[in-house]
């Protein structure tokens, strides 16, 4: 009888201890899986995953993304397109200096002797960053950049150079010639009359150049210079020379035939 009582106490004690352990475990602090925790310290929050941007705070202003600065063209890629290699420019006339694109930088234009590479003078002291051409009166040549003192220039072979401000390379033209008016060669331009048409129907020439008409049709043609009301008669197989130097300067000369309205020619003076 005594042994049964002692066994009951033992079983009851075991059950009581188990209940105490279970209650203690259910009231303990929660530990975030995968995060070690020192007893007595609060659990740490799980850090955000790498590569994932945190959500912005409501109402916080966003920093604007700066706009990219437009690139400045490299002067080494800019080409002088006028004067062209071998061009002939007449002294004391206006001529257009042109380059391929904007540099985004200011600069100046000067001229050198093609043989000695010696600087002859400055054409323009300041070009604008967005500029791509300049009309040069060859009477305007200056001793130095920024100088108001002029000098003359004689006929010869030259090279124009554009110097950009800053540590950038220069760009230059091909070798061209400056010639006196009396050195200008008279150019001739052929115009055929065929199938009752002028061919070509348009020409661009210099003042002083000549236009030579040849009648290739089997009939005699009459055509009119409308600027002056002059009529020309040209038999089959014959030629006729129209010399612009013998007429008052005009932006263009217009020829036409009354019997054949499609027979028209415009000669533009550059």
- C-alpha distances out from residue 63 to 19, 52, 55, 58, 261, Å: 59, 19, 15, 14, 71
What does the radius of gyration of the chain's CA atoms come to, in whole angstroms? 46
* Per-residue model confidence (pLDDT) at position 14: 66
| pTM of the shown model | 0.51
Q: Report domain 75-182's class.
A: mainly beta
DSSP string computed for 116-182: T--EEEEEEEEE-TT--EEEEETT--BSSTT---B----SEEEEEEEEESSS---EE---EEEE-GG
203-241 residue pLDDT tens: 999 888 999 999 999 999 999 999 999 999 999 999 999
Q: pLDDT tens digit string along 27-70?
A: 655 544 444 444 444 444 454 454 444 555 555 555 555 555 54
Q: Per-residue pLDDT for 196 more than 90?
A: yes
Average pLDDT over the chain, rounded to whole?
83
Phi-psi category of 195—alpha, beta or left, where left has phi over 0 and alpha has psi -120 to 50?
left
Percentage of the chain exceeding pLDDT 70:
73
Residue range 140-163: mean pLDDT, rounded: 94
Same fold flag, 75-182 and 188-269? yes
Q: What does the alpha-carbon distance between residue 185 and residue 196 come to, in Å, rounded to a whole number?
A: 32
* Pair type for strands 252-256 and 221-225: antiparallel
Sorted by where each begins, the domain ranges of the chain are 75-182, 188-269
Residue 113 confidence (pLDDT)? 97
Mean pLDDT of 74-87: 86
**For 253-260, what is the mean pLDDT?**
96
Quick one: pLDDT at residue 8? 64
CATH architecture of 188-269: Sandwich (2.60)
Read off the pLDDT of residues 7-32 as tens digits, 9 standing for 90 and up: 666 666 666 766 777 766 666 555 44
Angle at 102 between CA 99 and CA 107, to 5 degrees: 80
């Amino acid at each position: 009888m005594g042994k049964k009582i002692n066994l009951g106490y033992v079983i009851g004690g075991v059950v009581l201890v188990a209940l105490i352990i279970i209650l203690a475990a259910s009231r303990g602090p929660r530990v975030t899986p995968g995060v070690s925790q020192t007893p007595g310290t609060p659990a740490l929050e799980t850090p955000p995953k790498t590569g994932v941007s945190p959500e912005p705070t409501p109402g916080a202003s966003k920093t604007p993304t700066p706009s990219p600065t437009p690139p400045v063209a490299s002067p080494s890629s800019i080409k002088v397109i006028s004067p062209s290699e071998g061009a002939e420019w007449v002294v004391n006339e206006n001529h257009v200096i042109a380059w391929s694109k904007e540099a985004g930088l200011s600069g100046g234009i000067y001229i050198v002797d093609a043989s000695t590479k010696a600087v002859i003078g400055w054409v323009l002291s300041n070009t604008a960053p967005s500029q791509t051409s300049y009309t040069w009166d060859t009477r305007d040549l200056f001793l130095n950049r920024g100088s108001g003192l002029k000098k003359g220039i004689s006929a010869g072979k030259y090279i124009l150079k554009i110097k950009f401000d800053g540590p950038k390379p220069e760009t230059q033209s091909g070798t061209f010639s400056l010639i006196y008016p009396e050195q200008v060669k008279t150019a001739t331009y052929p115009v055929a009359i065929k199938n009752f048409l002028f061919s070509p129907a348009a020409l661009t020439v210099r003042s002083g150049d000549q236009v030579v008409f040849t009648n290739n049709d089997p009939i005699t043609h009459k055509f009119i210079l409308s600027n002056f009301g002059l009529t020309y008669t040209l038999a089959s197989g014959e030629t006729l020379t129209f010399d612009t130097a013998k007429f008052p300067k005009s932006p263009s000369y217009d020829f036409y035939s009354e019997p054949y309205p499609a027979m028209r020619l415009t000669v533009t003076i550059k």
